[in-house]
C-alpha cells in the first residue's frame, strides 16, 4: 500500500553545513516536491555536548538562503512535533520500555572494564570486536531487580538471527547477515540514547515514508530495519545517495578544500550555481545538459535515477557553473548580489550604494564577463575608488603604456579638457576620439594603452569611454595628467 510521501533530513547541529548535508536536503526536498509530499527538518541534537543552538540557526538560515524549504520543522512547527530530538525524550523512553518488556532489548550490566578486556582478547585472537551477549542470557526479573537496586546498565538491542534485506531505491537489494551485527547499545549507561535508536523512534512517530541520506549510513540500515520491526512499525523505503568524493577519491573532507556551504557563500557563488552543482552530485538530467534550473531538476528528479557510484567533486566545474549563473543574472540582480562584497571591501557604504544604485549597476554590468564570483568584483573595480594621483598600475598595463609613451596622451589631454565640461557622453566621446586618432594617422593602441593605464591601471577591462563616464570628467583629467607625469618622470630616470 503506498503511503503519503513524508521525507526528512535529520542534521546534527554540531557545526557548519557540509555540502553533503546541503545535497541531501536538496534531494529530499526535490523528491517531496515532485511527489506532492512533505519535507521535514528534524534537528538531531541528542549529542548534548556538541550540539549548539547557533549551529541549528546556521542550518536553518543556510538552507533557507539556498531556497530549500521544509514544511515542518523546529522553526515552523507541524503536526508531528516537536522537531528537536532532545524534546522527544519521553517518547524515546517509552519505546525503550516497550522493547524491554517485549524482550527485544535487554539490560547490560557489563562494566567498561569488562568490555575493554573482552575487546582486547578479541583483538589478540584477531577476531572482530563484538559484545559476547553475556547479559542477554540474564533472567529478566533478576536484571530488573539489579536495576532497581541502582546498578548501572546500558540498554542493548537483541539482534535477531537470520538476515536483513534492504530494498534500496538507489542500490537495489542489499542483504545483511545478522550474525555480523553486534547487540548494539540503544541507551548508554548515563541514560543518553544513541543515534540508531532515536532516529528510528522519530522516523516511526513522524510517519516518514522514505529515508534519503548519504551512503555512509547504509551500515546502520539493517539495525534500523530490525528496530522498526521490533516496534511493530512500518519501515520507510531507503535511498542511499553516493558519497561525495574529493579529487583524491576519498570522502570529501576539509583536507580536499572547502566543504561547507558557508565557504561558498562567502566566496560569492550564486545560489543557483550551488543548487545546480549539488544536483549533479549523483544525478544527471540527460547526461549532457549541465546547466539547468532548480525547477527543471525538481520536475525530472527520481530517486531511481540516482547513481550508485561516488560523485567526484570537481572544483573547476563548480566555478564554471558559478560564472554561467552570474552572467545570466539581470544587471539589477547582479548589482544587488555584488553590493555586500563591495561594501565589505570598503568601496561603498550602504548609503552610497543606494544613492549611486544606477551607477553601481552600470559598473557591475561592465565587469560581468570578467568575473565568475561576486567576490571577484571589488578587486576589479577598486581603481574607480582610488585617489586620482594614486591609481595602482598593474605591471602589464604599465609596460603597455611605456611602450607607447605619453606624447599622444599629453596632446589628447589638451583636446579633451574643453570637451568634458558638461559630463561624459561615452558614445559621442568614443566616436570623436577615434576620429581624432585617425586624423593623426596613429594606431588606436598608441593612445588607448596609455589612456587605459592612466584611468584604470589595468591592461584590459570594460570599454574605455564607459570607464570615463563612470569616473566623471574631473577625475579623468586629473588621472591623465598624473599619468603623463609618471610616464615622463621615469623615462628621464632611464636616460
Ligand atoms: N544525524 C544524522 C546525520 O546527520 C542523520 C542520518 C539520517 O538521516 O538518518 O548524518
Q: What is the pLDDT of residue 495?
A: 46
Q: Which helix (H) or strand (E) holds 239?
A: strand 237-241
Q: What is the pLDDT of residue 233?
A: 97
The CA-to-CA distance between both ends of the chain, in Å, stands at 92
Task: Give the C-alpha separation, 441 to 421, whole Å.
Answer: 27
How many angstroms does the Cα of residue 103 sit away from the middle of ligand 1?
Answer: 27
Tell me what percent of the residues of the chain surpass a pLDDT of 70: 98
Residues 6+ apart with CB under 8 A from 192: 46, 48
Which of ligand 1's atoms lies nearest the C-alpha of 211?
8
Beta bridge partners of 73: 77
Task: Give the C-alpha separation, 336 to 462, whole Å.
Answer: 20
Phi, psi of 185 (to 5 degrees): -85, 130
- Domain 88-241 sits in CATH at 3.40.50.620
Which of ligand 1's atoms lies nearest the C-alpha of 12?
1
- Residue 400, pLDDT > 80, answer yes
Instruction: Establish whether 399 is a catalytic residue.
Output: no
**Ranges for all domains in the chain classified under CATH 1.10.10.350:** 388-495
Question: pLDDT band at residue 309, thresholds of 50, 70 and 90?
Answer: confident
**Is there a contact between 42 and 208 (Cβ–Cβ < 8 Å)?**
no
- Residue-wise pLDDT tens digits, 158-179: 999 999 999 999 999 999 999 9
Task: Give the C-alpha separation, 257 to 171, whole Å.
Answer: 29
Tell me what percent of the residues of the chain surpass a pLDDT of 90: 92
- Residue-wise pLDDT tens digits, 63-108: 999 999 999 999 999 999 999 999 999 999 999 999 999 999 999 9
Most ligand 1 atoms within 8 A of CB, residue of 12, 19, 22, 219 to mutate: 12
Residue 185, sorted as left (phi over 0), alpha (psi -120 to 50) or beta, turns out to be: beta
Q: Is 449 helix (H, G, I), strand (E, B) or coil?
A: helix
Which of ligand 1's atoms lies nearest the C-alpha of 21?
4
Task: Give the C-alpha separation, 322 to 376, whole Å.
Answer: 12
Least confident of 50-54, 234-238, 246-250, 428-432: 246-250
How many angstroms does the Cα of residue 11 sit away from the middle of ligand 1?
Answer: 6
pTM here is 0.92
**Is there a contact between 95 and 231 (Cβ–Cβ < 8 Å)?**
yes
Phi, psi of 457 (to 5 degrees): 70, 15
- Residue-wise pLDDT tens digits, 205-244: 999 999 999 999 999 999 999 999 999 999 999 999 999 9
Burial of 162 (0-12, 13-18, 19+ CB in 10 A): exposed
Question: pLDDT band at residue 46, thresholds of 50, 70 and 90?
Answer: confident
**Is there a contact between 381 and 367 (Cβ–Cβ < 8 Å)?**
yes
Most ligand 1 atoms within 8 A of CB, residue of 19, 199, 225, 240 to mutate: 199
How many angstroms does the Cα of residue 214 sit away from the middle of ligand 1?
Answer: 8
Q: Tell me the pLDDT of the chain averaged across its residues.
A: 95
**Ranges for all domains in the chain classified under CATH 3.40.50.620:** 88-241
Cell of 226: 530490525
Least confident of 9-23, 250-264, 459-473: 250-264
Q: Pick from 264, 457, 470, 471: which is nearest to 365 by CA? A: 470
Cα 365 to the chain's mean position, in Å?
Answer: 26
- Set 250, 254, 308, 403: catalytic member: 254
State whether CATH 1.10.260.40 applies to domain 388-495.
Answer: no
Residues 120-141, mean pLDDT to the nearest whole number: 95
Q: Which helix (H) or strand (E) holds 213?
A: strand 210-214
Amino acid at each position: 500500500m503506498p503511503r503519503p510521501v513524508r521525507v526528512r533530513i535529520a542534521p546534527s547541529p554540531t557545526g557548519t553545513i557540509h555540502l553533503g548535508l546541503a545535497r541531501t536536503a536538496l534531494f529530499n526536498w526535490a523528491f517531496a516536491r515532485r511527489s506532492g509530499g512533505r519535507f521535514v527538518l528534524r534537528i538531531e541534537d541528542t549529542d548534548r555536548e556538541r550540539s549548539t543552538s547557533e549551529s541549528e540557526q546556521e542550518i536553518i538560515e543556510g538552507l533557507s538562503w539556498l531556497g530549500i524549504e521544509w514544511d515542518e520543522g523546529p522553526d515552523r512547527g507541524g503536526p508531528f512535533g516537536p522537531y528537536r530530538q532532545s524534546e522527544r525524550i519521553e517518547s524515546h523512553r517509552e519505546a525503550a520500555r516497550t522493547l524491554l518488556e517485549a524482550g527485544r532489548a535487554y539490560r547490560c550490566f557489563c562494566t567498561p572494564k569488562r568490555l575493554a578486556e573482552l575487546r582486547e582478547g578479541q583483538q589478540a585472537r584477531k577476531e572482530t570486536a563484538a559484545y559476547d551477549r553475556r547479559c542477554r542470557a540474564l533472567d529478566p526479573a533478576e536484571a530488573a531487580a539489579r536495576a532497581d537496586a541502582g546498578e548501572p546498565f546500558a540498554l542493548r538491542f537483541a539482534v535477531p538471527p537470520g538476515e536483513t534485506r534492504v530494498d534500496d531505491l538507489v542500490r537495489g537489494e542489499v542483504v545483511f547477515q545478522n550474525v555480523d551485527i553486534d547487540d548494539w547499545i540503544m541507551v548508554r549507561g548515563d541514560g543518553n540514547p544513541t543515534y540508531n535508536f532515536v532516529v528510528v523512534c522519530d522516523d516511526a512517530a513522524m510517519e516518514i515514508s522514505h529515508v534519503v541520506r548519504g551512503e555512509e549510513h547504509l551500515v546502520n540500515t539493517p539495525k534500523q530495519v530490525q528496530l522498526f520491526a521490533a516496534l511493530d512499525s512500518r519501515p520507510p523505503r531507503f535511498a542511499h545517495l553516493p558519497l561525495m568524493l574529493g579529487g583524491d577519491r576519498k570522502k570529501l573532507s576539509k583536507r580536499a578544500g572547502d566543504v561547507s556551504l558557508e565557504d561558498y557563500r562567502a566566496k560569492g557563488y550564486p545560489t543557483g550555481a550551488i543548487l545546480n552543482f549539488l544536483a549533479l552530485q549523483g544525478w544527471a538530467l540527460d547526461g549532457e545538459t549541465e546547466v539547468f534550473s532548480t525547477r527543471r531538476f525538481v520536475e525530472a528528479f527520481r530517486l531511481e535515477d540516482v547513481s550508485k557510484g561516488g560523485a567526484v567533486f570537481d572544483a573547476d566545474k563548480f566555478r564554471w557553473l558559478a560564472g554561467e549563473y552570474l552572467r545570466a543574472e539581470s544587471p539589477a540582480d547582479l548589482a544587488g548580489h555584488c553590493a555586500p562584497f563591495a561594501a565589505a571591501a570598503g568601496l561603498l557604504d550602504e548609503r552610497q550604494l543606494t544613492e549611486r544604485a544606477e551607477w553601481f549597476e552600470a559598473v557591475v554590468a561592465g565587469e560581468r564577463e570578467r568575473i565568475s564570483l561576486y567576490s571577484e568584483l571589488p578587486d576589479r573595480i577598486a581603481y574607480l575608488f582610488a585617489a586620482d594621483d594614486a591609481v595602482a598600475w598593474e605591471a602589464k598595463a604599465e609596460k603597455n603604456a611605456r611602450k607607447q609613451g605619453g606624447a599622444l596622451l599629453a596632446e589628447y589631454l589638451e583636446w579633451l579638457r574643453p570637451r568634458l565640461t558638461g559630463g561624459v557622453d561615452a558614445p559621442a566621446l568614443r566616436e570623436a576620439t577615434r576620429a581624432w586618432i585617425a586624423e593623426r594617422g596613429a594606431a588606436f593602441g598608441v593612445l588607448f594603452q596609455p589612456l587605459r593605464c592612466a584611468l584604470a591601471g589595468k591592461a584590459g577591462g570594460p570599454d574605455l569611454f564607459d570607464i570615463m563616464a563612470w569616473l566623471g570628467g574631473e577625475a579623468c583629467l586629473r588621472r591623465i595628467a598624473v599619468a603623463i607625469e609618471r610616464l615622463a618622470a621615469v623615462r628621464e630616470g632611464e636616460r
